[in-house]
Structure 1
Amino acid sequence: MRKRHQVLLAVSAAIGLSLTPINASATPSTGVHGEILGQVTFDGKDYILRQITIDPGGSTGWHFHDGTLYALIAQGTLSHYRSDCSVDGIYSAGNTLIEPSGSDHVHIGNNSQTTPLVLEVVYVNPAGSPLSEDAAPPNCQLPG
């Protein structure tokens, strides 16, 4: 219970911090803008709070994460696809999603709407890991 309390405290601290942005590895994205709002490292993990805006027609590019990502759709609609190009969710404002870690969880997120998409994201990564890792496009076609 104490460790859980410490992790919750660390996440709360990340939310309350306003730090200089850290460098993240580039992803083959279009129309994606991100801002680090806070970061704290605790017990070998980085807890990073980031706001991501995806322009209309924008895309995250194919990627995966070394840690788990927790997101809240603050505005707009996110279309989220698995590496076989199947839709694993259409998320609207107020919805949440979890992206598991590892190269076996390659995915892409798109904003096919006419308004910006805004995500509030908490990354729980191994300390020093990039926010995302580029992945080769799969051998399939996205719907639409």
Structure 2
Amino acid sequence: MIRRCTREFVANPAPAVGTASRTLLRLRLAGRDIVVRRTRIVPGGTSGWHFHDGTLFVLVTRGVLDHPYLARGPAEYRRFRLFREPSGPDNAHVARNNGTTEVRILVLYVNPAGAPLSRQVPPPSGG
């Protein structure tokens, strides 16, 4: 079943700051929730530290995304870069915009049915 999607960008809930998303597609298929979202991150904005129960595929469409992981360290993705975010707490990370222009990403979530889009974790000390 395809669910109604949002026309406007809506601010993401705390701990996110300076981020807003618009859901383009949401459906349940073979025990998975498939969600496609566009997200904007203003300069200085952050998603807050979190992880996902499912796998995500992320395309950076504007700017440079700072995307460090707790266990794997720093990562930076530039415009037109496509990357995969693995699932689970061992892959906790944050999405930040350390630049001076808005970052835009297109995200495909492949989550277990009924799972939240993300789960918060405490930030690392000093981070």
Which TM-score tier does this pair reach, normalised by the shorter chain? 0.7 to 0.9
**Runs of at least 5 residues in structure 1 that lack an aligned partner in the other structure:** 1-16
Q: Distance in 2 between matches of 1:111 and 1:91?
A: 11
CA apart distance, 1:40: 1.4
Amino acid at match of 2:105: L
Q: Distance in 2 between matches of 1:18 and 1:114?
A: 35
- Listed one character per residue, the Cα deviations across residues 36-64 of structure 1 (whole Å, up to 9, x for unaligned) are 10011111001100001001110110000
CA contact (8 A) 1:64 1:101 kept: yes
TM-score, normalised to structure 1, is: 0.78
CA apart distance, 1:109: 1.3
Amino acid at match of 1:67: G
The answer on 1:107 being equivalent to 2:93 is yes
**Runs of at least 5 residues in structure 2 that lack an aligned partner in the other structure:** 7-11
Aligned positions of 1:65-80 closer than 5 A: 65-80=52-67
Q: Distance in 1 between matches of 2:72 and 2:46?
A: 14
Aligned to 1:118: 104
Aligned positions of 1:17-96 closer than 5 A: 19-21=4-6, 26-84=13-71, 86-87=73-74, 89-96=75-82
Amino acid at match of 1:62: W
Aligned positions of 1:126-141 closer than 5 A: 126-139=112-125, 141=126
**Rg comparison, structure with higher value:** 1
Write 1 or 2 for the structure with the bigger share of helix: 1
Q: Distance in 2 between matches of 1:66 and 1:18?
A: 20
CA contact (8 A) 1:79 1:109 kept: yes
How many residues end up aligned between the 2 structures? 122
CA contact (8 A) 1:27 1:134 kept: no
CA apart distance, 1:85: 8.0
> After the TM superposition, which parts of structure 1 deviate over 3 Å for at least 4 consecutive aligned residues?
none
CA apart distance, 1:128: 1.1
Aligned to 1:14: none
TM-score, normalised to structure 2, is: 0.88
